[in-house]
Every structure is written in structure tokens, then in C-alpha cells.
Amino acid sequence: MKRQMGRLSYGTGHAGKGASAVASQSPLAPNRLDATFERLKANGEKALIVYLMAGDPSLEDTKRLVLALEEAGADIIELGVPFSDPIADGPVIQRAAQRALANGVSLRSILATVKLLRLRTKIPLVLMLYYNSICAMGYESFCQAAKDAGVDGVIVPDMPPDEAGPLKGPAKAAGLRLIFLLAPTSTAGRRTFVARQSHGFVYYVSLTGITGSKLTDIADVGENVKKIRRVADAPIAVGFGVATPEDAARVSRYADGVIVGSAVVRRIEACRQDPRMVEEVADFVRSLKTALIQKQQPAPEQPA
């Protein structure tokens, strides 16, 4: 398999040519991602976004997990597309990708799974995949296939918005949201450029590292989310390092959404041969959603 040696789209440097004046774009037709964030905002809630590696342990298990996690409180599901040469993935997600690849899972089989899921759920589904997978299928073919399957958004960690031109037109025509990433090291100019190019939500990577790293400086996360909010039209979701219900609650103080990946995939790995695997993972996701809801509720009044 060819490997695309592109830089990560976290955006740590200059915004690139034309960054000082982002071209105006015609409005995008609403989709499930937009509707979900609008509903949650109206209810004073924050989005719980859960990442799964599609095909780990199997595609049939992925279908069961999506439906169970929606019932447990997940608002949006990210489906990872396994790739042989990951860049940003930590060891937990790398092992999940290796298991899925060993099972013969491909982008096309994942899209077929999404199409089957759409018969049973309307939860927003976002694909997280590397550029090579899209390039191999072709921009137009991929976007049309994703639309036909019922995908709502796409995250490509090794494709910065400066280099996403060939994908932007087909994605917009298909109603797919292109979601880009920002990091703590992003400059002010880069922050503005990337935030305004991202649709569906802005993915803020809370730390400089790989997935599965520990979140340590929540105050720094809060400050950077505030800076992004000043220039972003889309909601802001925070990922990397969110491992516990307490982490999720703390991050939700600042963000519109909280992304949990490695902590979920780690539980799948530990329980993948257990008949109660889906129930165990759903219980964990339920605890995350409960923490988010409780964080949004006002503290009870103290007796005089």
C-alpha cells in the first residue's frame, strides 16, 4: 500500500497563501451533524463524540456497538478506517487498526456497514481516515459513495485545509462536512484559517502527542478553546487525552463537544472475547454521558 507522506493538519505554521482573507463560501445544506449540535445547544447540553475503529473486533460488532452506544448516550460516532501506516494514532488505536486489517476490513466494506446502519439509526456518523484511502478510491467516487452510505462528515488527519482543495468541491456537493484539526501549537493566523475552513465542528487536539496520551493542563485547553471560539463559526470539540468521566466533565466546561477514543477502544480490546463486550463498553459510554449532563446542571443550593 502506498503511503502519503503529508504533514498533519493540526496547523502549527503559517496559514498559507490567501489565509489572511478566507474566501466566502455559499451556505451548506443542513445535515445530521448540524442538527445534533443545534439540538444539544438548545437543551444546554454538550455533545459526546465516541470513536470506534471500524471492524474491531469485526464489522458486525461495529454495527452492534454503534447502536448500543447511541442508546447509552453517544451523540456522534467517529468510525476510524484502519490504515497500515498511521501518523497520529497511539498504540491502542494502532493495535485496533491491525486487528481490523487482519480481518480484511476496507474502506468499501466500512461504507457498506454504514449503509446498513442507516436502516436502523440516524445518529451522525463521521469517518476518520488517512488521505491515501481517499486518494486510492478517487475524490469524487469517495464522496459519492460516502453520501450514498449515509456518512455525515470526514476527518483526514494528514490533510491540512491548504491541501484539501481537490476534496472540498466533491465533499460540498455530497453534503459532507470536512472537519479539520487545531493543536495547542497553532499560531493565531493558522487558528483563524483552519477554524473557518472546518465545517460540522472544529477538532481541537488538546495536547501535543498521540492518541491515548494523558490530559494534564485543563486550564490551557480552556484558554485555547476560547481563542478558537472567537474566530470559528462551527462548534468546537476537544479530543486526545479524555479518558474518564471526570476528564469529560472538565473539558465540557469549555467545549461544545467531547471526543473519547482510546479509552473506548481500550475497553473493546480488553473485552473483545467476552460475550458482554458491547454491554461493557456501553456502560462506560453511559458514565461519560452522565458526567456531561451532571456538569451542565446547576449545583444544588446549600442550606442556610
Beta pairing partners, 205: 239
* Interatomic CA distance for residues 1 and 204, integer angstroms: 29
Give the start-end residues of each E strand in the chain.
Answer: 47-53, 76-80, 125-128, 153-155, 177-179, 181-182, 202-205, 236-239, 257-260
Q: Would you say residue 121 has pLDDT above 90?
A: yes
Cell 486487528: give the residue: 99
Catalytic status, residue 89? yes
Q: Is 58 exposed, middle or buried (0-12, 13-18, 19+ CB in 10 A)?
A: middle
Q: Distance between alpha carbon 119 and the CA centroid of its chain, in Å? A: 22
Catalytic status, residue 140? no
User: Among 70, 75, 78, 158, which one carries the catalytic annotation?
Assistant: 78
- Which residues lie below 8 Å from residue 95, measured CB to CB, with a gap of 6+? 269
pLDDT in tens, 209-257: 545 455 566 888 999 999 999 999 999 999 988 999 999 999 999 999 9
Q: Would you say residue 207 has pLDDT above 50?
A: yes
Mean pLDDT of the region 291-297: 80
CATH number corresponding to 39-295: 3.20.20.70
User: Among 56, 89, 158, 269, which one carries the catalytic annotation?
Assistant: 89
Q: Give the mean pLDDT of the chain.
A: 88
* Interatomic CA distance for residues 17 and 26, integer angstroms: 21
- Which residues lie below 8 Å from residue 194, measured CB to CB, with a gap of 6+? 9, 11, 15, 160, 161, 180, 181, 182, 186, 202
Beta pairing partners, 78: 51, 126
* pTM of the predicted protein model: 0.87
